[in-house]
Amino acid sequence: MAKPPTLQFLLAHPAHLVACGFGSGLSPLAPGTVGTLFAWAMFPLLRPSMSDFGMLGFLLLCFVGGVLAVHRTGVDLGVIDHGSIVWDEIVPFWLVLLFCPTPWLWQTTAFCLFRFFDIVKPQPARYFDENVKNGFGVMCDDLMAAGYTLLVLAILRFVLE
């Protein structure tokens, strides 16, 4: 993997700050997991201020802006899907949390499932990861992980509730 970015790189362009999850992606250990934890911690601060449709609109804007920010940051780092880029974990995990039951056990399960699917990358996530080498591909592989997570959560809810 390429050399991790510095704080100076993070602050050099707004796209870097966003793509690196406001610094959460600078973690030397498991930056994707740290970025997802950042998303989880930030969600309760974002959610109360928006309706469901408002939140979906916000997530759409974050996704589209993320495609641009992630692409710019990946180009500047010389690696399109650099490990420090975690906005692709943050926005899809916010989507998961929007549809996830609020008790901590459900959210912990959602976190573990999301990280599992993000790491394993079942199709079509693997296709985006391996073949779409731009900001859209980086964002989409994690969006697929969110989709799988929501599917498993729905099945669990059906079986358990």
Give the sign of the dihedral formed by CA 39, CA 139, CA 129, CA 86: negative
Domain-embedded: residue 2: no
Question: Does pLDDT of 86 surpass 60?
Answer: yes
Domain-embedded: residue 54: yes
Question: Does pLDDT of 161 surpass 90?
Answer: no
The confidence score (pLDDT) of residue 1 equals 47
Query: Mean pLDDT over residues 70-96, rounded?
Result: 96
List, for residues 26-46, the tens digit of each pLDDT value: 999 999 999 999 999 999 999
Question: Does pLDDT of 146 surpass 50?
Answer: yes
Q: Which of 121, 5, 10 is nearest to 69 (CA)?
A: 10
Query: Mean pLDDT over residues 2-9, rounded?
Result: 80
Residues 89/62, Cβ–Cβ less than 8 Å: no
Give the range of the structural domain holding residue 86, as residue numbers without chain letter: 7-160
Task: Report the domain count for the chain.
Answer: 1
Cα(124)–Cα(137) distance, integer angstroms: 11
Domain-embedded: residue 27: yes
Domain-embedded: residue 1: no
